[in-house]
Amino acid sequence: MSEVKQELERIRNTRWTAGILRMAGKVMLYMVLSGFVSLIIAPALMLDSALLRIPLNLALLAGIVLLVYSDSGTRGQKEVAHSYTLARRQEKGAALSDEDIAACYHPMRGILAAALAAFPFFLAAIALAILAKPYVYTLQDLPTWLTAYLRREDIGSALRFYENLQGLQAADYLRLAVRLVIMPVSYMAGGFGDQAALLLDRLSPLLVLFIPGAYAYGYLRGPAIHRMVLKRNEEAKRLHKKKMARKKKRERQARARREPERLI
């Protein structure tokens, strides 16, 4: 690497935090939208048959992860290309603005943005995993026709027990927030009983990292994607040259066939 590129690298490293909050907001938006998309198509995903429910939800989760990966990979590739462009401009003596330098690629930008987006959901998932308990069935309201029996001394006290319903606990509110961002996985666990639901709560700190992890990995793949793009461009240029060479050869052969024979 030339001294100019080394200097650009040094300057770029001082501004790698630029745009992190915007990127983190985008990752968080992906996490929330994945839950709402799952809710919209919930009737098609909440199937009794596990053979259908699990593949459909896996396909939905894979589609969301691939979308996030593709978006962050494209951003990383563009920032890598921008970095090389600035390096060439600086080698020619052009002045670089702070905005141009701040837009250069840096791997920590994608990692930190993903970490910031996942942080509140990860904390909620940790708390849920700690507070989660085996599921029990909650009591329901009494039918109206049993109201008259409440006045009987022999069974009235027992019936009033069913009216002591508990409201939502702290773990329930945490579960609502966490399940929103891991909705496809929640649908997959449905139908396997209370133990599966408890296991889902225990594993939720790992599950909430799917989308942020896909974003960070896609961004880190930016340099590799850029090399692939350059390789495809070179291949396209090579094929174009071969095509043009064949076209010129055919044109020369066609002209040779049309030219009259010279008389000696």
> Do 58 and 173 reside in the same domain of the chain?
yes
Which of 35-44, 87-96, 107-116, 254-263 has the lowest average pLDDT?
254-263
Q: Is the pLDDT of residue 13 over 70?
A: no
Which of 78-87, 128-137, 226-235 has the lowest average pLDDT?
128-137
Average pLDDT over residues 216-242: 88
The number of domains in the chain is 2
Average pLDDT over residues 164-179: 71
> Do 169 and 206 reside in the same domain of the chain?
yes
Q: What is the mean pLDDT of the chain?
A: 78
> Do 264 and 149 reside in the same domain of the chain?
no
Q: Is the pLDDT of residue 224 over 70?
A: yes
Banded model confidence at residue 42, pLDDT cuts 50, 70, 90: low
Angle between helices 170-181 and 194-207 (to 10 degrees): 70
> Do 181 and 89 reside in the same domain of the chain?
yes
Average pLDDT over residues 11-19: 63
Q: Is the pLDDT of residue 1 over 50?
A: no
Whole-number Cα distances in Å, 227 to 161, 234, 237: 69, 10, 15
Q: Which residue has the higher pLDDT, 201 or 136?
A: 201
Q: Which of 13-22, 90-99, 166-175 has the highest mean pLDDT?
A: 90-99
pLDDT at 177: 83
> Do 129 and 207 reside in the same domain of the chain?
yes
Share of the chain above pLDDT 90, in %: 23
> Do 252 and 125 reside in the same domain of the chain?
no
pLDDT at 84: 85
Q: How many CA atoms, within 13 angstroms, populate the side-chain half-sphere of residue 49?
A: 5
Asked if 187 and 38 count as a contact pair (C-beta separation under 8 A), the reply is yes
> Do 116 and 29 reside in the same domain of the chain?
yes
pLDDT at 24: 93
Q: Is the pLDDT of residue 95 over 90?
A: no
Question: Which structural domain range is residue 113 located in?
Answer: 3-220
What's the pTM?
0.74
